[in-house]
């Protein structure tokens, strides 16, 4: 399992990825100004699919104050690879970007992902940088710094999603405090 080298305190590497239709590009650096939750996974990873319920809960609670992006990456357990019994998604590794986009669309429709879903390149360029294998959730602050590199591994995204609210609450409180310092209220006599 590739755990990668990114850790809390590192600047989040930039990327631009689009949705399954090849539209609505998301550039990570353009999301600065608010915290960002970055989630990696694929439909053939049963623990990732199971984690989408916990991810959806935090998305619904924080979507107005936090950016969310789900990056669809290479298949964890395709039919032409190391399969897992009982996997609800039975797909082969895509050979083209069009195939990957079709698989991601089917995943999105079945799971009903609410957050923006973008598709990694067929050569997994973003995945190679973030090394989220097999799945992972990153939390990035408003300045683009990774504050939580999540826990990689089969249950990593679910564990990270359950721990995310405390980190997001802290980041939002820090941002509110910084805004109050930058723009203090006028004294009562000057209103």
Domain spans of the chain?
A: 16-169
Buried b (16+ CB within 10 A) or exposed e, 2-19: eebebeeeeebeebebeb
> Do β-strands 16-17 and 26-27 pair in parallel, antiparallel, or remain unpaired?
antiparallel
Pick the CATH number of 16-169 from 3.30.930.10, 3.30.9.10, 3.40.30.10, 3.30.70.20: 3.40.30.10
Q: Taking all residues of the chain, what is their mean pLDDT, rounded to a whole number?
A: 88
Contact 133, 35 (CB under 8 A): no
What gap in Å lies between CA 169 and CA 150, rounded to an integer? 16
pTM of the prediction?
Answer: 0.88
User: Which comes out higher in pLDDT, residue 131 or 36?
Assistant: 36
* Residue 157: half-sphere exposure toward Cβ, Cα within 13 Å: 28
pLDDT per position as a tens digit, 26-85: 999 999 999 999 999 999 988 888 889 999 999 999 999 999 999 999 898 898 888 877
For 153-178, what is the mean pLDDT?
87
Identify the weakest region by mean pLDDT among 60-69, 145-154, 178-187: 178-187
pLDDT at 134 over 70: no
For 97-109, what is the mean pLDDT?
94
pLDDT-derived band of residue 184, with 50, 70 and 90 as boundaries?
A: low
What gap in Å lies between CA 180 and CA 174, rounded to an integer? 10
For 165-176, what is the mean pLDDT?
92
pLDDT at 101 over 80: yes
pLDDT at 188 over 80: no
What gap in Å lies between CA 185 and CA 67, rounded to an integer? 28
Query: Closest Cα to residue 35, out of 178, 168, 184, 185?
Result: 168
For 121-126, what is the mean pLDDT?
94
- CA angle, 21 then 117 then 82, to 5°: 100
Query: Closest Cα to residue 46, out of 120, 157, 124, 165?
Result: 157
What gap in Å lies between CA 157 and CA 52, rounded to an integer? 9
For 142-162, what is the mean pLDDT?
86
- CA angle, 32 then 176 then 180, to 5°: 115
Q: Which pLDDT score, from 0 to 100, does residue 35 have?
A: 96
What is the helix (H) or strand (E) element at residue 49, kind and residue range? helix 46-62
- CA angle, 77 then 78 then 82, to 5°: 55
Q: Which pLDDT score, from 0 to 100, does residue 181 have?
A: 78
Q: Which pLDDT score, from 0 to 100, does residue 1 have?
A: 43
User: Which comes out higher in pLDDT, residue 71 or 155?
Assistant: 71
């Amino acid at each position: 399992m590739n755990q990668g080298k990114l850790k809390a305190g590192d600047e989040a590497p930039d990327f631009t990825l689009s949705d399954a239709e090849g539209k609505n590009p998301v550039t990570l650096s353009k999301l600065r100004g608010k915290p960002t939750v970055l989630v990696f996974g694929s439909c053939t990873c049963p623990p990732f699919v199971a984690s989408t319920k916990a991810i959806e809960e935090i998305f619904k609670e924080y979507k107005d104050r936090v950016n969310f992006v789900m990056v669809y990456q290479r298949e964890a357990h395709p039919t032409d690879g190391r399969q897992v019994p009982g996997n609800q998604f039975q797909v082969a590794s895509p050979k083209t970007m069009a195939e990957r986009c079709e698989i991601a669309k089917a995943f999105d429709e079945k799971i009903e992902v609410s957050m923006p879903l973008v598709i990694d390149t067929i050569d997994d360029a973003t995945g190679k940088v973030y090394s989220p294998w097999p799945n992972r959730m990153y939390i990035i602050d408003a300045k683009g710094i990774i504050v939580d590199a999540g826990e990689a591994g089969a249950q990593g995204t679910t564990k990270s999603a359950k721990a995310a609210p405390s980190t997001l609450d802290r980041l939002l409180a820090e941002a509110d405090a910084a805004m109050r310092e930058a723009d203090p209220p006028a004294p009562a006599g000057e209103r």
